[in-house]
Every structure is written in structure tokens, then in C-alpha cells.
Amino acid sequence: MEDHVAWPITLHDRVQGDSYPCSLHTQYVSYPRAELQLIPSPAQRSLARLTLHALDALLRATSVDRVVQWSSWLLSTNLHHASLPDAVGPVTRTLARTFPRHAVVVKNLHASADTTTLEAFQRAGYRLITSRQVYLFDGERKDYLSKGTVRRDLKAASQCTTYRIVEHSEFTPADVPRIVELYHKLYIQKHSPLNPQYNAWFVTRGLEERWLEFRGLRHRSGSLDGVFGCFTAGNTTSTPFIGYDTSLGNNSGLYRHLVALLLQQVGERGQCLNYSSGAGDFKRRRGGHPAIEFNAVYTRHLPSPRQASFRLLELIANRIGRPFLERQQI
């Protein structure tokens, strides 16, 4: 390993029901199963349900969740240090030797910028298993904010006198419970309890240590009603933490205001924004470019039955899952 880079790792041992950044079973079985109703075709839904049922049994039987992840920040979208390709060989050998019963995993890899990283993992013997479709915004492009939808969002945000922007340095410990509540309102209550369930300790550490950069919208009454937190590595940023008071309804425009603030920030800094998955139509209309993301999985040190289960997962995810994601543009 490089002396100047510390690679965070997470160890997982078959605990069913964990959130998808930790659990491959949740990502490939539980979460898709919970979203089957989003598939419009009854025939496709039935086929997907049968496939997930068979995959569920196989992955449980072969301990798919006995894994050690590296370059893992316990976020829905992990960003990686620029030296990741050079570290693949030595880090993998160390982890396979230290955890001989665990598959070695790195999440959130894609080839939109270049293929160097993916090629490094393939040379080291990793399987690249389709994970999801994410959306990227390139803040270095001159026409980055020229989309009509973005201009309307920015105009609406600038004319909103009901809320003022709260910068990171303005948040206080008294805001922490509300920040947690806003995230849970959106990601846990509105979407799925399979999403990461961040708590007050997590938010406090992010605020104090600034590995998350928070910005928010405070109502003139004093209530914090919207917030997002950016995680940045190099010139790329992501928003693994975002929330707003969903009880105020869609007419409040809070989510659009938060996204406008985020896109404007990315443009001013000339960054690339990895805006994760989901809400595909919303993100495409604001200039987001879809990219297929992969999980890199190393299993050469594992028994043959467990290697075979990952080969089957790779086959299903790459031959069936990837075309479905690209076709649906979800």
C-alpha cells in the first residue's frame, strides 16, 4: 500500500437486511424486489420476480454478504483517491491474506472519465459486476447551466424570499437532530429503509471534521427545511446526504431549490458531480449524463462454490440487469 494513502475498509458477515452500501444481497435482491412495481410491464415484473427469487436462494446459500470492502466510506456513492489503480494489487493481496473467507469488494466504479481504473481491476482478477446507473454533471463545461430547466430552477431559487441559504460554518449542534430528520423524511420514510440510516453521530462528525460539506435552506421562521451534504475527492463531488421536509408537499419547491443550489455550486467550482442513481428523468432534464456503475469483486482465494455464485451474479447483472438499466433510463 502507498504510505501516504489510508484506505478505509468495512467488514461484513451475512447480516441480512443491512443497507445496500454494506450488503450485496440487499443491493441485488432486497432493493430490486421492493421496487418491482416500477416495472410497467406485468410480464417483465413476473420474470424479474422469478429471477430475484432464484438469486435470493443462491446468494444466501453461498454467503454473498461475507465481504470486505475497501475504499469504502459507508456512503451510497463512494468516491476514490486518484491512486486507486496503483493500489489495486497490493491492497487486494493484503486483504485476501488477512480475510481468507471474505470476498474483496470495491464499489462505485465507472468508466465515464477513463477506463484506467476498470482495466486495473480486471488485470488484478476482479469481476466487474453491473451495479446501477448513475448520473454525472460536468461543471467544467461552458454550457453546464444552460439547460432551460436549470435556468428556471436557478431563477426560482434566486427569487425565493421565504428561505435563506445556510453555509456549512453556520450550522450549530442544535441543527443536528433536524438534519438527521430531514434525511430520514426523504430517504427512509419516502423511499426505503434499505437506504443508509445515518444518525446524529454521523452528522456531527461530518460537520466537525468537514469530510461532508453541508449547505441548507432555512425558513424565515427559523426552521431548517432542506439540506444536502457533499463528499468530495479530487475534482469530483457527490451528494450522499440530502433531505427536505416532505410534509410541506411538492409545491414547496424545496428539492428543486436544493438541486439548483447544488448545480450552481458545482459549476462555480468547475467540478464533476456524481449525482448517484434514481430520478432519472429529473436529472436528465437538468443535463445529467447516464453512466453504468460497477462493483469490482475479487474471489480467487475463495472456495469454488462461492466463486461460482459470483460468476452467476455477474452473468445476471451484466447480461440482464445492464441492458434493462440502459433501456429504462431509470
pLDDT tens digits, residue range 154-163? 999 889 899 9
- Distance between alpha carbon 121 and the CA centroid of its chain, in Å? 20
Has residue 281 been placed in a domain? no
Residues 52 and 125 in one domain: yes
Cα distance from N-terminal residue to C-terminal residue, the chain: 38
Residues 319 and 262 in one domain: no
Residues 44 and 105 in one domain: yes
Residues 229 and 127 in one domain: no
What percent of the chain is modeled with pLDDT above 90?
A: 68
Has residue 247 been placed in a domain? yes
Looking at 220, 241, 270, the residue that finishes a domain is 270
Has residue 57 been placed in a domain? yes
How far apart are the C-alpha atoms of 9 and 128, rounded to whole Å?
19
Structural domains in the chain (count): 2
Has residue 241 been placed in a domain? yes
Residues 262 and 169 in one domain: yes
Residues 119 and 219 in one domain: no
Residue 251: pLDDT band with limits 50, 70, 90: confident
Residues 166 and 231 in one domain: yes
Residues 114 and 215 in one domain: no
Residue 127: pLDDT band with limits 50, 70, 90: very high
Has residue 279 been placed in a domain? no
Residue ranges making up the domain that contains 212: 140-270
Residues 25 and 86 in one domain: yes
Residues 114 and 197 in one domain: no
Has residue 275 been placed in a domain? no
Residue 2: pLDDT band with limits 50, 70, 90: very low
Q: Sign of dihedral through CA atoms 184, 187, 191, 196? A: negative
Q: pLDDT tens digits, residue range 102-120?
A: 999 999 999 876 789 999 9
Has residue 86 been placed in a domain? yes
Has residue 161 been placed in a domain? yes
Going across the sheet that includes 127-138, the strands are 9-13, 66-70, 103-110, 289-298, 127-138, 272-274, 236-244, 224-233, 213-219, 163-166
- The two beta strands, 127-138 and 163-166, are unpaired
CATH number at residue 181: 3.40.630.30
Residues 6+ apart with CB under 8 A from 53: none
- Cell digits of residue 140: 467544467
- Distance between alpha carbon 243 and the CA centroid of its chain, in Å? 15
The radius of gyration of the chain's CA atoms, rounded to the nearest angstrom, is 20
> Which residues make beta-bridge pairs with 293?
110, 132
